[in-house]
């Protein structure tokens, strides 16, 4: 089973998006994005080491905005997602 986390942002100028797992930035090859302010992380074959807090950070000259999801892989094919959204700065919308 795969997990996909998405982050939608807007702002002027369009914010740069970064993804983190447990405060460590994810490698670019695990992050998919487009120019419309949408970015996602896809994790195939979930395993317990994929558990943790995932954070999407959007930033530009106006400030930054963060949203996070707490993922807990309990066993194969079972996981729990708690989503917490927070806005910091101005000029951003995070869904």
Task: List the chain domain ranges.
Answer: 3-86
Write down the CATH superfamily of domain 3-86. Answer: Immunoglobulins (2.60.40.10)
- Whole-prediction pTM: 0.75
Contacts 24+ apart (CB under 8 A), 10-15: 10/37, 10/92, 10/93, 11/37, 11/58, 11/60, 11/62, 11/91, 11/92, 11/93, 12/60, 12/62, 12/91, 13/60, 13/61, 14/60, 15/58, 15/59, 15/60, 15/64, 15/65, 15/92
Q: For 27-53, what is the mean pLDDT?
A: 85
Decide if pLDDT at 49 tops 50: yes
Reported as a pLDDT band with limits 50, 70 and 90, residue 87 is very low
């Amino acid at each position: 089973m795969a997990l996909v986390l998405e982050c939608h942002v807007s702002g002027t100028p369009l914010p740069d998006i970064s993804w983190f797992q447990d405060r460590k930035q994810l490698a670019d090859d695990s992050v998919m994005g487009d120019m419309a302010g949408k970015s996602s992380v896809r994790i195939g074959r979930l395993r317990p080491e994929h558990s943790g807090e995932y954070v999407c950070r959007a930033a530009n000259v106006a400030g930054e905005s963060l949203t996070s999801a707490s993922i807990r892989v309990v066993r194969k094919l079972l996981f729990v997602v708690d989503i917490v959204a927070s806005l910091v700065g101005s000029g951003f919308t995070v869904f």
